[in-house]
A = this chain, B = another copy of it.
Amino acid sequence: MGSFTVNTIAKLLAIRSRKNYTRKKEVQTLRRNTTQRMAIEQVFKEQERPLGVEEVHAFGRKIVKSLNQATVYRNLKILVHDGWLKRITHPLLGTLYERTGKDHHHHFHCRTCNRAFELPGCVLKENEIAPTGFVVEDHEIYLFGVCPSCGA
C-alpha cells in the first residue's frame, strides 16, 4: 500500500467496507476521470436522447478516436452503477441508455431514421386501463412514427 493522505485512506476504508465490495469486480468504486468516460458522458449530454452501445461508441470515437467498444461497455456499466445512466430495453432497438434525473416521460421511435427520442409528459391514467384485480404500479409507453427532422 502506498502513501495516501488521511482523506484518501478514509475514503478507501469507507469504500472497501461496503457490503458488496470485491476488489477485482468489474465495477470499481474509486473512479478516475479518464478521457474516455468523459467523452461518453459528453455524448449523452450532447445527444439528449436514449442511445445504444453502438451509437455511444460511434459518437465517442469522434471525441476520442481510440475509444474501444469494450471500454464503452465498461463505462456504461459504471455510469449505470453510479446512477448517472439508466438502462432500458426498447421493443425495437434493444438495450438503450438514457440519462437519469428526468421527469416521467415516454419514448418515441422514428421508423425513418431509427432513432429513439424522449417525449416529456404523460396523459395515461393507469387506473382507467387496468381491469379489476390488476394492480398497476408503473407503466411504459412507446410511440412509433416519424420524427420532426425526418418528416420535414
Copies of the polypeptide in the assembly: 2
Which residues of the partner chain B approach A90 to less than 8 Å between Cβ atoms?
91
Which residues of the partner chain B approach A121 to less than 8 Å between Cβ atoms?
129
A139 within 8 A of B: yes
Which segment, of A3-11, A32-40, A53-61, A140-148, faces chain B?
A140-148
Number of interface residues of A (CB under 8 A): 39
Digitize A122-145: 1 where CB-to-B-CB distance is under 8 Å, 0 elsewhere: 111110111111111111111111
In the complex the two chains form, is A134's CB within 8 Å of B111's CB?
A: no
In whole angstroms, what is the CA distance A33 to B139 when docked? 40
A-B contact pairs, 17 of them (CB 8 A): A89-B91, A89-B92, A90-B91, A108-B130, A108-B136, A111-B137, A119-B129, A123-B124, A124-B141, A126-B143, A132-B148, A133-B147, A134-B146, A138-B143, A138-B144, A141-B141, A142-B142
